[in-house]
Amino acid sequence: MTGSELNTPVRLLVGLGNPGTEYQDTRHNAGAWFVESFARKSGASFTRESKFYGRVARISFEGEDLRLLLPDTYMNESGRSVAAVCQFFKIPTDSILVAHDEIDLPTGTIRLKQGGGLAGHNGLKDISACLGNDQSFNRLRIGVGRPDKGRVVGHVLSKASQEDRDLINEGLEAALDVMPTVIRGDWQKAMMQLHNRQDIDDGDKT
């Protein structure tokens, strides 16, 4: 059975990025932007936990604990932090949602994905490796636009223009609106709501 058939709820929301002020406004930190926005909307506060190699927060959603995680490791070592939280709280891999930047989507386009390939993303690859090569965790893919060939690293580690940041923020707001449905594990409904809304919004801009 697939995750959507099981309606697996989310127990851990992870926002990927690089630590430090020099990286906080770069496209590679789009996943962290989302989780920070979700925390603000939920009234959650992060606490730095050395045993989890990152900052963690907890909210109660419909009587169940939801953990939020912002790894303090660099992107390509994100798995150490995720694995530590999962092991401590006994969170199964298919109950994880990882928010991350995605160069294969137009800037500001947001898509949900259950498991599957890692598309060469170093953060996702390290998470999978640290979870025993398990790729069944869910993803919130945040489009940051495709750079010219050979400029991938420079693109994701550069600061987004104001226009691009506005587009990304609009996408994040759309994703925040469907998070209650996502957390419940109603993946098909959440995907339909998010993807259809974004398709309509994109059409309005043309």
Q: Which residues contact 96 (CB under 8 A, 6 or more apart)?
A: 10, 11, 12, 14, 82, 86, 137, 138
Identify the three-state secondary structure at position 200.
helix
Q: Please name which of 67, 74, 76, 73 lies closest in space to residue 50, comparing C-alpha atoms.
A: 73
Catalytic residue among 28, 100, 121, 155: 28
Do the strands 96-102 and 12-15 form a parallel or antiparallel pair, or are they unpaired? parallel
- Spatial contact of 168 and 107, defined as CB atoms under 8 Å apart: yes
CA-CA-CA-CA torsion sign (195, 65, 97, 110):
positive
Is 28 part of the annotated catalytic residue set? yes
- If one counts every other C-beta atom within 10 angstroms of the C-beta of residue 86, the result is 25
- If one counts every other C-beta atom within 10 angstroms of the C-beta of residue 91, the result is 18
Phi, psi of 26 (to 5 degrees): -85, 155
- Would you please indicate which residues are annotated as catalytic (active-site) residues? 28
